[in-house]
Structure 1
Amino acid sequence: MSLFDSPFIAAPMAGGTSTTALVRAVQDGGGLGFLAAGYKATEAMAAEIAAARSAGLRFGMNVFVPDPAQLNPGPEARAALEAYRAELGSEAARFGVEVPPLRLDDDDAWQGKIDALLADPVEFVSFAFGLAGASVIKALQKAGSVVLASVTSVEEARAAAEQGPDALVVQHSSAGAHSAAFLPTGAAGPGMGTEGTTADLVARVRAAVDLPLIAAGAVGDGNALKQVLTAGASAAQVGTALVRTDESGARQAHKDALGDPHFTDTAMTRAFTGRWARSLVNEFVLDHADAPEGYPAIHHLTAPIRAAASAAGDAQGLNLWAGTSWQSARTGPAADVVRDFLSGL
């Protein structure tokens, strides 16, 4: 717990869910909050950092690592993306929007964000979707940041540890939203067929690498938190349990769906973004079970549909990110959620 001063870390949730208000509430409850740079312009990330800093908050910033292969797909992969674009036409028509042209040039302003974080360092920087590179990690550490790499297996943990981060976020396949996996995962998705719990994965990684670990995946209450700490984690990164809270910036339809008994399961899907992510199973997930790989190209293709579905309050067309413990997520102040997690420790 020495790195973070709390065993509770609010997961960075891109797309608007993580807010400075949520970070403040998590801090008030005794935890540490993260902001998410994903999908933001560099200037927007810098403004959010400034706002959090002026509010006197401790916080970290999460950055997506771009995948060159996804930005430069071969002819077969590009054809699959164009076919999926055509497939989305009927959905778009239902919501009165158009599917945009295929976009393959979005690296999420990677270099601009790294440059900004070096010029104006934050306390913690975490990376997801790949390895940032030893030189980037070393530069951020020299600037004063604690650097976290996200992994989903022992093999990824070993690869990440070689680059010299200060800690690892160990994400189990039960986690909601995007998988952080960066090594090949197979057609069924990351973690599918892998036995055990988040605590089991933490224990395996603990035996393989000598770095502080943050557990992520199905940490839905204080008992689950206790289990991953016992397994060797220094802290847990909690996301889904905070999505419905007052300070969360998640879409209202998403918040409501997490409490709707009509949703009975989650599944890994590439339908919304072209990258494996765990969502509540809705019509969009079922209709596009064979969506191809292609991040963030598919994110851009489905963005108008998701925006229109949100505006209409139609949860069947939304990416309803949720971990497998989603049913324990509740409404109310985030600070109260954090206190409840910590009360039994």
Structure 2
Amino acid sequence: MSSERRPGTALTSVLGIRHPVVQGPFGGGLSTVELTAAVSEAGGLGSYGLHAVAPERIGSVVDRIRASTTAPFSVNLWIPRAEEERPVPDATALAAHTDRLAAHYAEFGLTPPGLDAANARLDFEAQVDAVLEARPPVISVVMGTPSRRLVEGARRIGATLIGTATTVAEARALQEAGCDVVVASGSDAGGHRGSFLAPVRESLVGTFSLVPQVSDAVTVPVVAAGGIADGRGVAAALALGADGVQVGTGFLRTRESGASQVHRDALASERAETTVLTRLFSGRPARGIANGLVRELADAEDRVPPYPAQNNLMMPIRARAAELGRPDRLNLWSGQAALLASGGAAGDYLAALVSDAGKVLGSPL
């Protein structure tokens, strides 16, 4: 079979990669240069999440990835949502939120963050400037549509632009904004939900319902994301009209990821059979493994402050929990198919995805 007829050719041609597999970008220290490079070297599109990286460090990160692989790679930014990022107004409001977490700070001998720390945030426009100056081959965004400035900047440096949709309407909006590729991210996906045209609760479309509808609605290549962790999932997504897949949790289990050992162990255990959407760790809805903290604070889901305040308040607890190997206090981001992944080396995992999907489809990828 010629390469022109292989499944996923529309995506591989646009991105300049061998296999129609994108590694989902991770934030919060879970992305690593090693993972990004390993996936790209193996023929997929390695990705690095920059949303928590200071603008002055972005150029260094991109330089390190470029020094580790000559293949295309992607960097990811979060589009800020003003309505969600209201600061904590004063010490009284802060106390209400830190009091809720007092027992958890005390458990680890931590001092609650002050008002300035709770409200700390990065300059998104400066991040955009830094990314454009670094000239990565691919830029992806979540949480909204890219600005005209970002779209024009990507065109200027010759970068492919990927947008992330959780509904058909969002997919159309991303294409209209100028995205070259659209990721159709189903509610099965782990980590933060990127819904931006409607509330998350109105945007929880399963991956295999979302993908064919998005494929019918847009003309740019479509990448299926959410609940895809083995070759069967890859084949199913392609059969439903996707031009490729994005795999997050599966690559999070690989040894090159920045996930702590306790996080990897949780993803490989029966605990990963139960995931929930929660705002408790960051202030934005995200899918992770249900644990002690999620259950103990469940009644506060609608009362915690929005991102980034809640994220900043939880950061010390999350960091200490990872250090001490405490999965009951850690944000264990996970999609709904974690146990289908194999772990091990990222390159081997990618090769297995491609090989197994080809066997199911009866066509090489």
TM-score normalised by length of structure 1 = 0.92
Amino acid at match of 2:164: S
1:149 corresponds in structure 2 to 163
State the distance in 1 between where 2:92 and 2:233 align: 43
State the distance in 2 between where 1:146 and 1:28 align: 18
- Number of residue pairs matched by the alignment: 339
Distance change (3 Å), C-alpha of 1:10 and 1:83: same
2:235 aligned residue:
226
Q: Is the 8 A contact 1:129 1:182 kept in 2?
A: yes
Counterparts of 2:208 and 2:251 in 1: how far apart (Å)? 20
Question: Quick one: distance in 1 between partners of 2:181 and 2:144?
Answer: 15
C-alpha contact (below 8 Å) 1:173/1:190 kept by paired residues: no
Identical amino acids, percent of aligned pairs: 34
Of 106, 131, 150, which residue of structure 1 is paired with 2:145?
A: 131
SS at match of 2:139: strand
Match of 1:164 among 178, 199, 205: 178
| 1:270 Cα offset (Å) | 0.4
Q: Please say if 1:325 is aligned against 2:337.
A: yes
Give the TM-score normalised by the residue count of structure 2: 0.87
1:92 maps onto 2:96 in alignment: no
- Contact kept, 8 Å, 1:147 with 1:165, in 2: the verdict is yes
SS in 2 for 1:162: helix
Match of 2:328 in 1: 316
Q: 1:245 touches 1:332 (CA, 8 Å); kept in 2?
A: yes
Q: Which residue of 2 aligns with 1:12?
A: 25
Q: Does 1:198 align with 2:210?
A: no
Rounded Cα–Cα distance in structure 1 between residues aligned with 2:268 and 2:151: 39
Structure 1 segments unaligned to the other structure (5+ residues): none
Show the 5 A alignment for 1:34-73. Answer: 34-57=47-70, 58-72=72-86
Distance in 2 separating the partners of 1:299 and 1:74: 12
Distance 1:199 1:264, change over 3 A: closer
Q: Distance in 2 between matches of 1:78 and 1:220?
A: 45
For the structure 1 residues 80 and 150, does the alpha-carbon distance in structure 2 shift closer, same or farther, using more than 3 Å as the test?
farther
Relative to structure 1, the CA distance from residue 129 to residue 328 in structure 2 (aligned partners, 3 Å threshold; closer, same or farther) is same
The one-letter amino acid paired with 1:33 is G
Distance 1:160 1:82, change over 3 A: farther
In the alignment, is residue 3 of structure 1 matched against residue 17 of structure 2?
no
Question: After superposition, what is the alpha-carbon deviation per residue over 1:214-250, rounded to whole angstroms, capped at 9, x for unaligned?
Answer: 1110011111111111222221111100112111111
Unaligned runs of 5+ in 2: 1-10, 359-365
Q: 1:293 to 1:128 in 2, by over 3 A?
A: farther
Q: Which has the higher helix share?
A: 2
**Equivalent residue number for residue 296 of structure 2:** 287
1:134–1:243 distance in 2 versus 1, CA, 3 Å? same
> 1:17 is paired with a residue of what secondary structure?
coil
Amino acid at match of 2:63: A
- RMSD of aligned Cα (Å): 2.1
Q: C-alpha displacement at 1:329, in angstroms?
A: 2.7
Supply the distance in 2 between the matched residues of 1:80 and 1:157 (Cα, whole angstroms).
37
Displacement of 1:82 in angstroms is 5.2
